[in-house]
Structure 1
């Protein structure tokens, strides 16, 4: 329980009616008799506006600078700083914290590492306040914590490191992503590389070129092939991935190489934590990643739902996985726009489209760079769907991948060719799934 009367590492006055909570939220709509509310500054509005609403929903306490019932009241304008200070204090009690970053594969690596370690792990929403709430809620648990640490601007990883202070820092991949703010792949590697300043530094196979272990013995790599910690005898089939690690057989249903590499990370962490590897491997076989992150959905034709987000390195990995689905039907790629790529975005979309043409039998593109992304190009998602649904046949494998465009309206997403989850839904409905 989160006791508001416990001494916070910040100057706070606790209202006598404040009660313990089991969880924290910065969304007043989630406030409940066991969920406390933290009133934080937002892009358009301050959470203080919703403090009364949270109280009416029964929030056991509200972290705020307002004088309201059940307040954990901090100095004016200091609610966010108080939340972060509280999080750092609670994090100090955790026996093991794993921090994971990368240009692609963060959520997958987080899911597999957490399963292998039987750890608490961050939900999808991974802003600084969300991470702080997670650390406060689970910092005193005896179980390890796995935190996804994504960045999109210079200096952000340094801020995250000050908050999370991971014992193990992991970089999954490095590639062009968030170039509008970060500028270059070299800057991306430099910024994300701050996570390797933890006690233990691990990088995925693709990222090892940016953090060569020969030059820095403190950095070790994982994956397959010429890495420090390697899985052996990897086999990729439409049914999934199989390999061995430290002599233990691993089977990952409906998985690709990306998932297999994440599983190696999980097994390595489990081994170093002294856990039974066979038990860890069994847990890995049941990992379920969130929607839109390489979910293989079999049926009359197979749909690969990878529509949550996209970057050049992630698109190439998804296309490689599509190519591995050799069978009676065709391999079809449906690609939409990748966001935040800066001045080089047309060139990067053209490169992705050229790679798609080599890895797929039929390619579709939608949105601003549709012609670069596919042989069949469409301005909007509805136009794409009309042709795609008429084209797909039994036995085909269809990969759907694009960026989310969460700051856009649904109409803007449809026009830009992002947020292709609607395409996944339409395909599943068409095949009767």
Structure 2
């Protein structure tokens, strides 16, 4: 429990009615009888505007500079939260920090499973990380923290907050270019996590950090062996132990190698770690494979060129007629048309049929649509038994330097439509090719 009346690593005036909480949140919508609220400044409004809402929801205390009931009153709520997070983190013996242009969430999930660790939820902002550290820092279990950046200097701030014992870079590629500027800047910024700690980089990122130890398959420092990927599972061996990851591809297998390496170095029993890996899962929209009369790969949560390339590799490795459904990738700056064209060219090489939607639809696919409903109508008429479909795009809003909002494409609705069709309507069989293989 988080007790506001216990010794705190910052100066505060604690209201006598403040109560211990099980959790701490920066989002007033999550505040409740067991969840305290910290009122932080935001880009457009201050969390103080939601303090009363949190109190009305029963928050045990609020961290704020306001003089209100159940307040833990401080001069600067963010400075206080950061000091609290660092104090709690210092009590933990093993903290893993993970960054990269793609694959962070997958690596986090598999590393945490192998280590039996507490891990960050979906959000990876500094306030979310700080609240996570306050809640779990003193645990006797390791912590795995996802550390994403979208501006210069942010990784140094995150490293100061998290102080990881092991820093991991999963991959490097063009992402958040509107703020980060270039791949050279991305390499430098993400590489900050490797400084002064145990550093590990994924196979794709290894050429960018030639002095760092690498993991994955092939020519890396710490390699899994005998990787095989089928529609049902990815299998490989590590230290002589057979690993089977249901409905997984190479990216998940590389994340599992990372997890096993960390578990081995932490002195954990690898057979038990392997069993936990087999049951590991990632949040929806991140390479979720839905099998059936046709197979849907739901990778619709987010996209960058390196992430789309990895997903297309996974699609290409599967049997059946391969269909890619791609939407806009956000925050690619002045090179976005060129990068979308490159991704579209790769899609055409690795898929049998390609769809594009939204801005740059023509670059992304042979069948180009302005809106998602138009695409769905055509796709539902086209899909056949035995097909395998990859759905991938950025979603949400990107803010350019001039603060001009630009929408991504929410392809989760495409996934939903396909799954409803798969489960409710009999489709025509895919015609076999001339060789009779159907592939």
Q: State TM-score, norm by structure 1.
A: 0.95
CA contact 1:103–1:172 (8 Å) conserved in 2: yes
For 1:198 and 1:14, the matched residues in 2 are separated by 38
What is the aligned partner in structure 2 of residue 311 from structure 1? 304
Matched residue, 1:371: 362
Number of residue pairs the alignment of both structures matches: 418
Secondary structure of the 1:432 match is helix
Aligned residue runs from structure 1 range 24-423, under 5 A: 24-75=24-75, 78-212=76-210, 216=211, 219-326=212-319, 329-406=320-397, 418-423=409-414
Partners in 2 of 1:283 and 1:266 — Cα distance?
A: 10
> Gaps (5+ residues) in structure 2?
400-405, 425-439
CA distance in 1 between counterparts of 2:157 and 2:46 reads 22
The 8 Å contact of residues 166 and 198 in structure 1, kept in 2 or not, is answered as no
What CA distance in whole angstroms lies between the structure 2 residues aligned with 1:397 and 1:345? 27
Q: Cα deviation per residue 1:20-68 (whole Å; 9 max; x = unaligned)? A: 1000111222211111011111222211111111111111110000001
Superposed displacement of residue 5, structure 1: 1.2
Indicate conservation of the 8 Å contact 1:366/1:416, yes or no: no
Deviations 1:229-284 (A, max 9, x none): 00001111111111000001000111000000000000000000111111101110
**Superposition CA RMSD, Å:** 1.2
Are the aligned partners of 2:117 and 2:141 in contact in 1 as well (CA < 8 Å)?
yes
Aligned equivalents of 2:391, 2:48: Cα separation in 1 = 40
Counterpart in the other structure of 1:17: 17
Q: In structure 1, what is the Cα distance between the partners aligned to 2:307 and 2:148?
A: 15
Deviations 1:62-97 (A, max 9, x none): 00000011110001xx11111111101111001100
Contact 1:165 1:198 survives alignment (8 Å): no
Aligned partner of 1:425 among 411, 416, 425: 416
Are the counterparts in 2 of residues 12 and 72 from structure 1 also a CA contact under 8 Å?
yes
How far apart, CA to CA, are the structure 2 residues paired with 1:264 and 1:406? Answer: 33
Between 235-244 and 143-152, report the one with greater CA deviation. 235-244
Alignment deviations for residues 187-228 of structure 1 (CA, whole Å, 9 cap, x no partner): 10000000001420000000000000xxx3xx2100001111
Report the secondary structure of 2:224's partner residue: strand
Provide the C-alpha distance between the structure 1 equivalents of 2:177 and 2:31, rounded to a whole number of angstroms. 36
Contact in 2 for aligned 1:366/1:417 (Cα 8 Å): no
Say if 1:93 and 1:417 are closer, same or farther in 2 by CA, change over 3 A.
Answer: closer
Tell me the equivalent position of 2:436. none
Secondary structure, counterpart of 2:368 in structure 1: strand
